[in-house]
Amino acid sequence: MSSYAVPTVEPAAARQHADPTLAATITKSASLQTYYTIRFLVDRERVADAYRAYAYFRWVDDHLDAQTGTKSERAAFVNRQTSLLERCYRGEAPRHLTDEETMLVTLVQGDHEQNSGLQAYIHNMMAVMSFDAERRGRLITQDELTRYTHHLAVAVTEAMHYFIGHCCKSPKTETRYLAVKGAHIVHMLRDTVDDVAAGYFNIPREYIEAHGIQPGDAENAAYRDWVRQRVRLARTCFQAGRSYLAQVENMRCRLAGYAYTGRFEGVLDAIEREGYLLRSEFPERKSLGSGLRMGLAALTSLVNPRLPGMTRQTIATKQYPLKEL
């Protein structure tokens, strides 16, 4: 992008220059819940890297969402980040890094585990960023939407297990990623109106063409029926996700998972109350009452984890194709 000129550092100083204060500041400004989750729940020795992991991709996402810059400039930016990632994992020392890019280099240099959760987070989040850079201004297919949500779910889930209770057991079951998949479904519904204005369309092309509607026609009955289906799917994912979280050994990790999903359930409630009509803002998730309810729900789930188990086969009986999950 034309606005890409920011301070650079040389690779020899990368580990020393990757100031955790900058990463924490970016995180706190973008998401107070994420900031305090990292501060109080992440394993002490991994707090600095957890801030870097979030802040780096927050920076990338903000660049891609900027109103300035052409599609080719966005593509060039994300290609630079992808190349930087690949070179870091090959053991190379890239030159002329921005302060934010140094966060990525620092993360990779400190990752000495084979097939670590951090690698899963970084690679899947980069796939999410690459898709966002490419999809702006065009309709997406159902398969693309499903892959997009899967990449995000794997990234967030594996990061959670890597940074919180990383030595503790977590089951590798078919429900491992469903809580975050549900959260991403809600996230896309919540942001739909603003995303359409920015050129991002979160409803699949096949549905639009089958019902003869516009991608931003949120008041249309067919559009609202699609929203209703997505709300039901998110609810199902959350139920299965809580069943999975109840089996996670580390209490802090369970609490983080319950709190993460809990922040979106108030949005689902608001969407249902308003007849599945999406709007530009959902103040419920920012209110004091919402925060207290979210915290209470997380604590309740933590001390009472006896939730009904759900498998992909159970979910399929609710008329959701397995590929959708």
- The answer to whether residue 308 sits within a structural domain is yes
pLDDT in tens, 109-121: 999 888 999 999 9
The single residue listed with the structure tokens 């924490």 is 24
- Final residue of a domain: which of 112, 136, 160? 136
Residues 322 and 173 in one domain: yes
pLDDT in tens, 218-238: 999 999 999 999 999 999 999
What is the average pLDDT value for the chain, to the nearest integer?
Answer: 85
Whole-number percent of the chain with pLDDT over 70: 81
Residues 28 and 118 in one domain: yes
Residues 188 and 317 in one domain: yes
Q: What is the CA radius of gyration of the chain?
A: 20
Longest dimension (CA), the chain: 58
Confidence at residue 152, expressed as pLDDT on a 0 to 100 scale: 98
- The answer to whether residue 56 sits within a structural domain is yes
- The answer to whether residue 211 sits within a structural domain is yes
- The answer to whether residue 176 sits within a structural domain is yes
Residues 21 and 100 in one domain: yes
pLDDT in tens, 32-82: 989 999 999 999 999 999 999 999 999 999 999 887 778 899 999 999 999
Residues 112 and 174 in one domain: no
pLDDT in tens, 244-279: 999 999 999 999 999 988 889 989 999 999 999 999
Residues 191 and 272 in one domain: yes
Residues 173 and 310 in one domain: yes
* Identity of the residue numbered 63: H
Residues 77 and 220 in one domain: no
Domain count, the chain: 2
Angstrom distance (rounded) from CA 54 to CA 44 = 16
Residues 37 and 132 in one domain: yes
Q: What is the residue range of 320's domain?
A: 168-325
Helices 20-30 and 47-65 sit at what angle, rounded to 10 degrees? 60
Q: Tell me which of 287 and 82 has the higher pLDDT.
A: 82
Residues 74 and 209 in one domain: no
pLDDT band at 13 (very low <50, low <70, confident <90, very high): very low
- The answer to whether residue 153 sits within a structural domain is no
Residues 132 and 192 in one domain: no
Confidence at residue 10, expressed as pLDDT on a 0 to 100 scale: 41
